[in-house]
Amino acid sequence: MQTTEQTRSQLPQLTHARNPGMTLDLDWVASVQANTSAIERRAATLGGRRSVKKDYQAAWLLKAISLIDLTTLAGDDTAGRVQRLCAKARQPVRPDLLAALGMEGLTTGAVCVYHEMVETAVRALEGSGIPVAAVSTGFPAGLSPYRLRIAEIGESVRAGAAEIDIVISRRHVLTGNWQALYDEMAEMRAACGAAHVKAILATGELGTLRNVARASLVCMMAGADFIKTSTGKETVNATLPVTLTMIRCIRDYQDRTGIKVGYKPAGGISKAKDALLYLALMKDELGHPWLQPDLFRFGASSLLGDIERQLEHHLTGHYSAANRHAMG
């Protein structure tokens, strides 16, 4: 069992203060709008405008690896699978490839698992500095009894999770009950204690980009350290229009409060070229600080394998079979 100090030592090293939250400002929430057509046009230009090649592309892909929350959230997870995933997090790219690229000490940003696998992951990552993130609060639907959702957070923190990915109650957004969403998020934030909290909005179930924007703002007001697109279990997960909407809310929140909040797109990001688009968008909209693990993460698993294949192609000129870059 992890102590509070051990859990704290696994937290990402911040160059900024955690988000303490603020009083719910309903006037600010009501004023938030989202011009869907303009957002979609901006997102559609990214693929044509941003292209990095050769050594520059390799450098960006190595950066992307350091930002991955390497994830397994399957009903048939076993201790062995989680241990193999943790070994991959410690050594995400074959040593010969890293040596050829002049890199050493590269790890993923975190390992993300269900509560039942937290202690297994913590033991497997001991001494690595890689934090364990636990999905919580009745993930993915968030419809279990409220007291059990709060209790689940505490159980995961006591098991050693340094980060908690909570799911919000979508009904509060769909009915415009912003006070209920704020109160829920604030209590979940408090239950996390020293552990960082990522608020999963399940954007594919919120109906409109305006709802996404307002939910993002309310969760930040209530103290979310990160806002995250999806559980990965919805029909629609992370998209560039949703990302643009959420990170502009992050920018507005920083402009108003001076506090930096992180962003995590999750679900559907499986190709290296997609990771490059997200990194370019983050740099354009929020700047260099949001290209660090304490402010940006990819929620992914298969993404790492494709990045590793791209790095081998960069070095050899040939694409390898996926089984040469197994997850464990």
Residue of 165, 225, 274, 306 with catalytic role: 165
Q: Is 284 exposed, middle or buried (0-12, 13-18, 19+ CB in 10 A)?
A: middle
In DSSP terms, 296 is beta-bridged to 263
Residue of 88, 198, 228, 260 with catalytic role: 228
Which strands form 298-300's sheet, in the order they lie side by side? 262-264, 226-228, 196-200, 163-167, 132-135, 110-113, 68-71, 298-300
Active site residue 25: no
Whole-Å CA distances, 167 to 142, 197, 204: 6, 10, 13
Number of residues written out for the chain: 328
Q: Quick check: helix, strand or coil at residue 20?
A: coil
Residue of 225, 260, 264, 306 with catalytic role: 264
Active site residue 165: yes
Q: How would you classify the pairing of strands 68-71 and 110-113? A: parallel
Burial 231-257 (b: 16+ CB within 10 A, else e): bbebeebbbbbbbbbbbbbbbbbbeee
Active site residue 63: no
Active site residues: 165, 228, 264
